[in-house]
Amino acid sequence: MNDIGHNSDNATGSELKRFIERIERMHEERKDIASDIKEIYGEAKGRGFDAKAIKHIVSLRAKD
């Protein structure tokens, strides 16, 4: 009877670990994407565009 509970705990622990690892991967991807977005704003600024205005436009468009 103890083995059954132990196996169940292992399965639950393994499942929890997989959820945590997936979340961690998403956080890493989000950091990468945020870095890419920052680079795009910098590129736009370097080409003479107002990055603050672009951020505002992006924000407005997200509301639609």
pTM for the structure as a whole: 0.70
pLDDT digit string (tens) for 5-42? Answer: 566 788 899 999 999 999 999 999 999 999 999 999 99
24, 34 in Cβ contact below 8 A? no
Q: Residue 54: which of 33, 42, 9 has the closest Cα?
A: 42
pLDDT digit string (tens) for 43-59? Answer: 999 999 999 999 999 99
45, 51 in Cβ contact below 8 A? yes
Amino acid at 14: S
pLDDT at 4: 55
Return the biggest CA–CA distance within the chain.
71
Strand ranges inside the chain, DSSP E: none
